[in-house]
Structure 1
């Protein structure tokens, strides 16, 4: 006679109950996810004078998830944290009131893994955690060790439980979390996706580089690899188009995909979020590794993949009825931050005895990011134009994706710029036409209706990527 356990296992095998480890989506119809990009956020905004900001917040009314990447630290620097010698290019900091301000705006999920996670040290990271926890905001991507930083975190909503796994490909090396090993404790930090970077050059140039390598001191002859040359720590590969190539760490990929699968097993909906600037600020195209990897996250159970690193918009793909956002730009871009560390004064040729934090910030904005022709200023329009994405799900599939263009008051004085408002009609049209162009190579059609972008094609939403 079969035991009770045998009957239970037989029922599972026959499909009588939900399969153990299911990664099916299971939200109620009408579930909505609002996602924005980077929250470069220094001071509270909900009680300030920012005409038009209330219109932006109304877009979030009734959504189940309101997500953004918290690219700052929340702390009182007079009592906790200090500026680190290794930091993400600027010391990003916000006052303790930011936790309550985020809550007042409706944000209920934020990612923490980015190149500024440890600008103010482990104490700054922990203070940020405390500020978010006290205000009931779910966050992922940073923790006391890699297991904590990489784990899915959960939000309960009326239409289903939402899991989020956050990680970064752009980060400072000392910010990477690790797990205990033997007697050695784990290391606090962020959940990383390490990328091995190569420079792609034409075949004839690769041969010239090989000849250069053989002339250098301490050259040790080795079996010739026709596809690559290593000089110092720089890897050169052969290819038809010059550029940059990235290979993700298989160990990190496996860890992220496992955490996504586990997160989905314990939730009804799952988000994967990545902070990646690659291949650089100079391009609106995603890096060569990202499409394959993003699709893997969805295959592992993610219902959306969100990259929030480039600080300007990139294209959108629909894969198996799930959105892949290759770049959502900035939601906040508050440039004026204080205090900043002495190292940043030095980096910009300023002296804290004579110059102010604002002087350093103004110089940072003017210098910007290096590009082939020189530099692209951080005050360029593309850093102040982006979209709010609102995805609605029916029958556990993406039914409609709406894109609301915003602009961040670029023309205002430094102390007042960076807070979003709805873009004017001509500017909205330009932003959406840019997204149309960037999304077209992924087979995504963005329609423009009343200055809002809409993706709703049944062929795209139901079959693309199958």
Structure 2
């Protein structure tokens, strides 16, 4: 495992801004502080009172932590009294859940939720606001959506017996009209989500770039004289030379500035700061990438340098690797935790996209098509989510002693891929060959980050000594 020095002397003097006299950003939790982190919650109904074998084992893990975090990728409201409507611009599917879900998530042990993702405004501002209301009433702290950018980007705080925890939530994958903004002069702010805009470039071998330059020069209306630039723009896509074909991303400088400021602010008012990012990048393709986008490692490390104690990624709906940086966990993607996609009701636009007719087809038939074909694009359907890999994930449990991560425990789970539609999507702990396969895949994905995961009794472990340099 890659080891880096970390200043964490509990006797160091503290400044009001959260830094110690040596300039280090302090983790300041009591010994035994534990954080449970899971990935995407796509769930349509309460589950704790249902007939879901072994789900009680999952709930015990969730309840036994000081902090239990997940990404809320659904809206919560009662369609019978709902005043909003399905939006023309939505996150690939209309996600909706019953109001009883809020108290049920609380009963499971969840107390922190991220809200910024591509589904935040599937049902408009009414859906966003009703979800906020139900989470508030359920006693679940949530971040990433608000009445303007300042509110959506702000840290929200949870009081625990072992320290005060801050949560910041943002997303790099979102519908353009869901982005929040602040007031400007007489213009009011705009409700929505906390964004991280990314500029995407397509990497191609140098010889291909030369051919693309010829194509660009031949297009009507192109003005010559731009020279042999390092990039070529064709039909709105930016191409750059690379060692191999792929995608490259550059974060928006204004969004980056706002996020870094809010991380500092969150850490200054908390003992432990969680930063979470929802992103589908690299760009959806027929094979969803198990590797993070090229910008993310440096970005996650910078967030930790700024004050984050943990970075949690989600969005691609499958596992990605784990890194330990300066004694803090970077979880690049935790995959799906709930994939209970009994989605109903479904907006008319989604019926149309999949060639269905609400007068003769059912909501479930639309959902099955969406999962089998994937997301619609101008070129067709890509990114199918029906493979078993999307139903295999982990629960990550981090434990801290002497303000350092000493153990990361990884419980493999499976979400009922082989079950009938009405019963799948609910996690259960797995053992034997399936547990080994999930954990060995995670081992392989984590190796490029210098992370070594041990497998013992069907559970993954990372262990670090609190007295050592990390």
The Cα shift of 1:375 comes to 5.3
Q: How far apart, CA to CA, are the structure 2 residues paired with 1:376 and 1:228?
A: 27
Instruction: Indicate the residue corresponding to 2:3 in structure 1.
Output: none
Instruction: Indicate the residue corresponding to 1:451 in structure 2.
Output: 458
- Length-normalised TM-score, structure 1: 0.93
Deviation per residue, 1:200-228 (Å, 9 max, x gap): 01111111111111111111124324310
Q: How far apart, CA to CA, are the structure 2 residues paired with 1:420 and 1:109?
A: 19
Instruction: Indicate the residue corresponding to 2:73 in structure 1.
Output: 71
SS of equivalent residue, structure 2 residue 29: coil
Q: How far apart, CA to CA, are the structure 1 residues paired with 2:180 and 2:380?
A: 37
Q: How far apart, CA to CA, are the structure 2 residues paired with 1:138 and 1:415?
A: 30
Q: Determine if the alignment matches structure 1 residue 148 to structure 2 residue 144.
A: no
Aligned positions of 1:137-216 closer than 5 A: 137-216=140-219
**8 Å Cα contact 2:112/2:142 also seen in 1:** yes
Q: Determine if the alignment matches structure 1 residue 270 to structure 2 residue 277.
A: no
Q: How far apart, CA to CA, are the structure 1 residues paired with 2:198 and 2:162?
A: 36
Deviation per residue, 1:50-73 (Å, 9 max, x gap): 011001111124310000000000
**8 Å Cα contact 1:397/1:462 also seen in 2:** no
**8 Å Cα contact 2:373/2:381 also seen in 1:** no
Aligned positions of 1:234-253 closer than 5 A: 234-253=237-256
Instruction: Indicate the residue corresponding to 2:398 in structure 1.
Output: 391
Structure-2 change in CA distance of 1:341 and 1:16 (3 Å): closer
Q: Determine if the alignment matches structure 1 residue 432 to structure 2 residue 428.
A: no
The Cα shift of 1:364 comes to 1.1
SS of equivalent residue, structure 1 residue 431: helix
Instruction: Indicate the residue corresponding to 2:316 in structure 1.
Output: 310
Q: Determine if the alignment matches structure 1 residue 40 to structure 2 residue 33.
A: no
Instruction: Indicate the residue corresponding to 2:262 in structure 1.
Output: 259
Instruction: Indicate the residue corresponding to 1:3 in structure 2.
Output: none
**8 Å Cα contact 1:141/1:166 also seen in 2:** yes
Which region of structure 1 is more displaced relative to structure 2, 15-24 or 417-426? 15-24
The Cα shift of 1:365 comes to 1.7
Q: How far apart, CA to CA, are the structure 1 residues paired with 2:153 and 2:76?
A: 21
Instruction: Indicate the residue corresponding to 1:344 in structure 2.
Output: 350
Aligned residue-pair number: 449
**8 Å Cα contact 1:69/1:112 also seen in 2:** yes
Find the partner of 1:401 among 392, 396, 408.
408
Find the partner of 2:15 among 12, 16, 19.
19
**8 Å Cα contact 1:280/1:310 also seen in 2:** no
SS of equivalent residue, structure 1 residue 39: strand
- Length-normalised TM-score, structure 2: 0.93
Moved over 3 A (4+): 369-377, 461-464
Q: How far apart, CA to CA, are the structure 2 residues paired with 1:373 and 1:251?
A: 33
Instruction: Indicate the residue corresponding to 1:287 in structure 2.
Output: 293
Which region of structure 1 is more displaced relative to structure 2, 221-230 or 274-283? 221-230
SS of equivalent residue, structure 1 residue 107: coil
**8 Å Cα contact 1:230/1:236 also seen in 2:** yes
Find the partner of 1:113 among 113, 116, 137.
116
Structure-2 change in CA distance of 1:203 and 1:52 (3 Å): same
Instruction: Indicate the residue corresponding to 1:7 in structure 2.
Output: none
The Cα shift of 1:363 comes to 1.1
SS of equivalent residue, structure 2 residue 28: coil
Find the partner of 2:31 among 29, 32, 37.
29
Aligned positions of 1:88-127 closer than 5 A: 88-127=91-130
Q: How far apart, CA to CA, are the structure 1 residues paired with 2:417 and 2:50?
A: 17
Which region of structure 1 is more displaced relative to structure 2, 24-33 or 277-286? 277-286
**8 Å Cα contact 1:320/1:462 also seen in 2:** no
**8 Å Cα contact 2:63/2:108 also seen in 1:** no
**8 Å Cα contact 2:322/2:446 also seen in 1:** yes
Structure-2 change in CA distance of 1:124 and 1:61 (3 Å): closer
SS of equivalent residue, structure 1 residue 131: helix
Q: How far apart, CA to CA, are the structure 1 residues paired with 2:398 and 2:303?
A: 18
Structure-2 change in CA distance of 1:170 and 1:462 (3 Å): farther
Find the partner of 1:411 among 409, 415, 418.
418
Q: Determine if the alignment matches structure 1 residue 421 to structure 2 residue 428.
A: yes
SS of equivalent residue, structure 2 residue 319: coil
**8 Å Cα contact 2:92/2:376 also seen in 1:** no
Instruction: Provide the aligned C-alpha RMSD in A.
Output: 1.9
Q: How far apart, CA to CA, are the structure 2 residues paired with 1:113 and 1:444?
A: 28
Structure-2 change in CA distance of 1:222 and 1:251 (3 Å): farther
Q: How far apart, CA to CA, are the structure 1 residues paired with 2:160 and 2:381?
A: 48
Instruction: Indicate the residue corresponding to 1:325 in structure 2.
Output: 331
The Cα shift of 1:336 comes to 1.7
